[in-house]
Structure 1
Amino acid sequence: MSALLSESDLNDFISPGLACIKPAGEVRASSNGDKSEYEIQINGQGEAFEVSIDDGTTQELTQASISLQDCLACSGCITSAEEVLLAKQTHKVLLEDLSKFANSKVFAFSISHQSRCSLASFWGLPTYKVDELLINLMSEKYGFKFAVGTELGRVMSIQRTNEELIQRKFSSSEKSVQLSSICPGFVLYVEKTKPEILPYMLNVKSPQQITGLTLKTLISQQMSISLEEVYHLSIMPCFDKKLEAARPEDAVDVDCVLTPKEIAELIKEEEINIKDYITTKDEPPNELYTRAAPYHWPSPVESWSSNVGSPSGGYAENYIIALQRHYRTKGVETEIQHISGKNSDVLEFRLVETSTGEKLGSSSIVNGFRNIQNLVRKLKPSGKVKIGSGLAARRRARKTANAGSDAKDEPVADPSVGDFVEVMACPGGCINGGGINNGGNTTDNKKLINELTEIYEQLPLIQELNTTSDNGIVSEFLNQLQRSFEITDDRMFKYKFSAIEKATDILSVGSKW
């Protein structure tokens, strides 16, 4: 089990089960096929043995183990709590794989914006120096051949999200709000505990998975090898990303996921001097970015840039900007209003017609499981919005009355009645993922989030999302990639969502008393 994960790192507000139910479902056959009775004995060294009551023969018991796939198929617990049950999901797995596949696989890594910001804060370096450090370290010490940022995958994910939302808004009779599916913690929460919410999920993969497929495809072409011979390490801010990489999809696009905490621990344990892998140049290593990317990777330097919007990817804001651009092509002048929610983890972007003030569309950001649960309570499988209970309604009425008449005209954020919600399990979003470095200080989390957000906002911005989705560099690249390698839309962008049935064995029932 990772020593890097502690109770303070679990950012969800839903308690795990008291015991893991997975081993309880395993039935091991007797070695000789009989139906003898056995008892368990523990020797002086703490080793467990199975002893036959009939003839006294003994057999050593193997230790129960739990894999990522086990957790995905199990309904026992959800989100970050699952990491407590996982053995050996640390940087040691990467070191073992580097040794095991040294002569049979080509190694590549991608790194998210939030992870770069976390390591920049932890080491006191500019983000571009973190990039330089990791590219040089992974290449020179560990033999990695390729490295990219995740902005290309993010742009592809955002553009696909915008296309599906706008098409749905103007072409479909179904107008229920759509929820993003890029946060694996939220997706697992829905699959395991709220399957009735699955119809609301906008099925578009995260930058991690899109980057993985794109990276493996281009490397396999360049090196004349199969996709399976490319090993992709993804550096992400959240432990749940490990579970996302292990989803039962068609192929493995991500072989290993490490968090910034684990990268820092790797460097500490390996006694690496980070100064050995950075230069004195006070500028972004654009030449290194280009050299580290595979051939035909579009705009390698911009792959390490960012885009407008929240530190979780900016999905909500970019959708409303795309919607505004759509109305502009029809000659409708609009403006975007920012409407705060009940707390800092809820924000609505509302598009209104300038001349009339009519609401034309909206998107929202909802972070943290408390806010997610409030959102889910308002949604029904029928697609209608659940009006609050009488008690809650009376409370709101009293609050409005006490605030005076001016409060009646003030807009209120309500993500449940909009077009789209950018949903993240962690309070504060991805910049506050469980794998973010906190230097051992867990008491001033808000200060750390503000610091990381400030670093994030200093990343250079791309202009790709300011163009229409069908004439940008990324769109042209994506079309060519899918045609050349016969990659279907489902393979490129879609998860395989499924409701996970609740276990009914005695241990799972007993753990919920």
Structure 2
Amino acid sequence: MSAILSADDLNDFISPGVACIKPIETLPAAKPEDNSNAYEVTTEEKVAASQPPPPASISLTDCLACSGCVTSAEAMLVSLQSHTEVLTTLDTYRSLRTPWAAHNGTSNGTTNGINGQHVEGKLFVASVSPQTRASLAAVFGVSEAAAGNMIAQLLSGPSGLQSGGHNGSDFTWVIDTNAVREACLVAAADEVATALSSETSNAPSEPGSGGAINTTPKAPILTSACPGWICYAEKTHPYVLPHLSRMKSPQALTGTLLKSVLAHRFNVPPSQIWHLAIMPCFDKKLEASRSELTSSVWLPSHDSVQDPVRDTDCVITARELLHLAAARGIKFASLPRTPLPSSQRTPFPDPKLDAFLFPPSRRKNQTPEAGPSGGYLYHILHTYQAQNPGSKVVVKQGRNTDVVEFALVRGQETIIKMARYYGFRNIQNLVRRLKPAKISKMPGAKVGGSRKANGAAIETVKDFTYVEVMACPGGCTNGGGQVKVGEVDAIRAYEGVQAENGDVVASKPGPKEQKEWQGRVDEAYFSGSEDEVDFDGDQEMQDAGVNGTNGHSDEDVVNGISRRYIQDVLAHWSAITGVSTQNLVYTSYRRVESDVGKKQNDVERVAGLANTIGGGW
């Protein structure tokens, strides 16, 4: 799914799969009205549409509702989420600098100084994943922190995108998703604790409620931060939906935080906030297109006069970020590797959230033991270890490097078991073992677990409390949007960067070279340091407890993250928006069904199409 969603690969033609639910059949063309017999009776098969059918088009949202194919032949799949769309939007709208002044009567419109026409302004904000920074750090031979500074200089600096745009627009805020990830980790740990303490966690789910936002996931709880895995589960294995964590990903949570606070507290319409996410994976474009991740969840219907606005408007990857710079004639390697000066920083209007989003020091990504995909399992496991003094973590390698099992033990007691499953080959084994056993109708048949030939029970994943699932082998640092080893030489040649000693050099890079290159990216990811950032108001941030440990005991802090501090931030967020934490932090899933292969007569087909466009009889 990931690789074919790149705009740069749209040079082929793949016919739509037979399972595509996007209707290529339409209602019959309208016929001229004949009033000679107003009482003429006709058959339902001859019902005419009111106007000629529009050209067929496919969007990312359509693909989310489809159990069939995703084709690279349709450029519409990426037309709204590409580096070209970023440039087009910047050239169409001016940047809003003081959006929180809107409620005092300040107009959100600006005047285009080039042609004198009035254009609506937008508040541009970007969020950057640490995996993306690691990929670019490996390409240009810099630290992960320096790569992050270069991205900020491109998006917000004087020598970046604003220097070549029609409106001089740039991004007001560039947010490190590590800050929001900490909230995701704490909320995920609380979710697991709630699920284990709930008597209904292992009870049968009600029909149709398996992925509802207000339900408690069943053990084993499966990570929900990977959109490729979520789409796969919704379309092919809906029986795992009750096991999915309801947590939003850092990308989604960042968009919800920004738009909900600015809309509820400072009266900035969500449509005037444009959130760009720079992620390691093309599937994140699919996540951004989900109807569950829009303003309809946190903005009451009576407050919204327009259609729901996506929490994340556009997603690009590390490769597309380089295309973005090249399209403006900017050599990414020439950008400053230092932070933007404090004089150019625009504080977030809410001081408490400003301290949370923009800490005075750069947080480390994680340790290698946490893995390259956010460290959900690692944080939850160590949260339980902090609650059980004297316990230790036992690690067991699975059938391959992408399957690892973890157990928290104290003496002979096993407190909790977890596992990590990366890559679709391993995911298929995971979901196969979660499939409910079929009840035999034969008299005397027994219902139970399968057994091996020697009589030993087959190991089951149902013994795990939590499983970290990611679609990409090797985790998120190996996402489909990351720079691949075969592209490194061309990028460095264009940027004028010399190869470093020890770099992989091969005329035709293969799996071995890609694996070695992946090691370089992982090294950059795990070696991120806590470099100081020169921001205005650093002391004020520290006084507010931005580092998450001020005034908190050691028992409350897990891997440098304070549970009480994060909960305080989430409670503050909910209070100033008037929206429940559940609607802000969690999401829902739904089973995707297909009508492919089902017989349907003309009456049913026309009725279905009429219902789709809001008609019927």
TM-score, normalised relative to structure 2: 0.65
| Residues in 1 aligned to 2:172 and 2:61: alpha-carbon distance in whole angstroms | 29
| Residues in 1 aligned to 2:187 and 2:15: alpha-carbon distance in whole angstroms | 34
| Residues in 1 aligned to 2:191 and 2:438: alpha-carbon distance in whole angstroms | 18
| Residues in 1 aligned to 2:170 and 2:393: alpha-carbon distance in whole angstroms | 48
Equivalent residues of 1:219, 1:294 under 8 A apart? no
Unaligned runs of 5+ in 2: 35-50, 95-119, 163-168, 203-218, 296-309, 440-446, 488-508, 531-546, 550-556, 601-617
Equivalent residues of 1:148, 1:293 under 8 A apart? no
Q: Which residue identity does 1:418 align to in structure 2?
A: F
Aligned to 1:360: 415
| Residues in 2 aligned to 1:466 and 1:446: alpha-carbon distance in whole angstroms | 32
Q: Which has the larger radius of gyration?
A: 2
2:483 maps to 1:437 = yes
Describe the shift of the 1:467–1:275 C-alpha distance in structure 2 as closer, same or farther (beyond 3 A).
closer
Equivalent residues of 1:346, 1:364 under 8 A apart? yes
1:474 offset after TM fit, Å?
2.5
1:269 offset after TM fit, Å?
2.8
The partner residue of 1:307 within 366, 371, 392 is 366
2:259 maps to 1:216 = yes
Equivalent residues of 1:148, 1:303 under 8 A apart? no
2:77 maps to 1:86 = yes
Superposed CA offset, 1:408-464 (max 9, x none): xxxx99644210001001111111111001153562221122111111111237876
| Residues in 2 aligned to 1:92 and 1:164: alpha-carbon distance in whole angstroms | 39
| Residues in 1 aligned to 2:438 and 2:199: alpha-carbon distance in whole angstroms | 13
The partner residue of 2:182 within 150, 155, 166 is 155
Which one is further off, 319-328 or 441-450?
441-450
Equivalent residues of 2:125, 2:173 under 8 A apart? yes
Q: Which residue identity does 1:277 align to in structure 2?
A: L
1:476 offset after TM fit, Å?
1.6
Aligned to 1:50: none
* Identity, % of aligned positions: 30
The residue matched to 1:421 in structure 2 has which SS?
strand
Describe the shift of the 1:273–1:471 C-alpha distance in structure 2 as closer, same or farther (beyond 3 A).
closer
Aligned to 1:460: 529
Equivalent residues of 2:29, 2:52 under 8 A apart? no
Aligned to 1:189: 232
Aligned to 2:574: 482
Equivalent residues of 2:372, 2:476 under 8 A apart? yes
The partner residue of 2:467 within 396, 421, 430 is 421
Aligned to 1:400: none
| Residues in 2 aligned to 1:305 and 1:350: alpha-carbon distance in whole angstroms | 25
1:372 offset after TM fit, Å?
0.6
| Residues in 2 aligned to 1:417 and 1:81: alpha-carbon distance in whole angstroms | 40
The partner residue of 2:404 within 347, 350, 361 is 347
2:256 maps to 1:164 = no
Q: Which residue identity does 1:339 align to in structure 2?
A: K
Which runs of structure 2 are paired with 1:108-507 in the superposition (5 Å)? Answer: 108-139=125-156, 140=158, 141=162, 142-172=169-199, 174-175=201-202, 176-219=219-262, 225-249=268-292, 250-251=294-295, 252-274=310-332, 276-278=334-336, 285=339, 291=345, 294-295=348-349, 296=351, 297-299=354-356, 300-301=358-359, 302=361, 305-308=364-367, 309-328=370-389, 333-353=390-410, 356-381=411-436, 387-388=449-450, 390=452, 415-441=461-487, 443=510, 444-460=513-529, 466=558, 472-504=564-596
Describe the shift of the 1:304–1:327 C-alpha distance in structure 2 as closer, same or farther (beyond 3 A).
closer
Describe the shift of the 1:432–1:82 C-alpha distance in structure 2 as closer, same or farther (beyond 3 A).
farther
Aligned to 2:8: 4
| Residues in 2 aligned to 1:165 and 1:290: alpha-carbon distance in whole angstroms | 41
Superposed CA offset, 1:347-402 (max 9, x none): 1221001xx321110221110111011011111348999744545x68x99xxxxx
Aligned to 2:506: none
Describe the shift of the 1:450–1:416 C-alpha distance in structure 2 as closer, same or farther (beyond 3 A).
farther
Aligned to 1:77: 69
1:259 offset after TM fit, Å?
0.7
Root mean square deviation, CA, Å: 3.7
| Residues in 1 aligned to 2:478 and 2:7: alpha-carbon distance in whole angstroms | 19
The residue matched to 1:144 in structure 2 has which SS?
coil
1:489 offset after TM fit, Å?
2.3
1:470 offset after TM fit, Å?
7.1
The residue matched to 2:281 in structure 1 has which SS?
coil
| Residues in 2 aligned to 1:416 and 1:286: alpha-carbon distance in whole angstroms | 49
Equivalent residues of 2:317, 2:481 under 8 A apart? yes
Equivalent residues of 1:109, 1:146 under 8 A apart? yes
| Residues in 2 aligned to 1:98 and 1:500: alpha-carbon distance in whole angstroms | 35
Equivalent residues of 1:177, 1:417 under 8 A apart? yes
1:479 offset after TM fit, Å?
1.2
Equivalent residues of 2:433, 2:460 under 8 A apart? no
Equivalent residues of 1:311, 1:431 under 8 A apart? yes
Aligned to 1:40: none
| Residues in 1 aligned to 2:475 and 2:33: alpha-carbon distance in whole angstroms | 55
Count of residue pairs the alignment pairs up: 451
| Residues in 2 aligned to 1:227 and 1:500: alpha-carbon distance in whole angstroms | 28
Equivalent residues of 1:379, 1:386 under 8 A apart? no
| Residues in 2 aligned to 1:360 and 1:506: alpha-carbon distance in whole angstroms | 48
Q: Which residue identity does 1:499 align to in structure 2?
A: R
| Residues in 2 aligned to 1:334 and 1:165: alpha-carbon distance in whole angstroms | 19
Q: Which residue identity does 1:198 align to in structure 2?
A: L
Describe the shift of the 1:261–1:380 C-alpha distance in structure 2 as closer, same or farther (beyond 3 A).
same
Q: Which residue identity does 1:419 align to in structure 2?
A: T
1:321 offset after TM fit, Å?
0.3
Unaligned runs of 5+ in 1: 8-14, 36-58, 398-411, 509-513
The residue matched to 1:378 in structure 2 has which SS?
helix
| Residues in 2 aligned to 1:101 and 1:178: alpha-carbon distance in whole angstroms | 43
Equivalent residues of 1:133, 1:274 under 8 A apart? yes
Aligned to 1:403: none
Which one is further off, 267-276 or 102-111?
267-276
Superposed CA offset, 1:175-204 (max 9, x none): 531111111111111111111111111211
1:472 offset after TM fit, Å?
3.8
Describe the shift of the 1:467–1:438 C-alpha distance in structure 2 as closer, same or farther (beyond 3 A).
closer
Q: Which residue identity does 1:259 align to in structure 2?
A: T
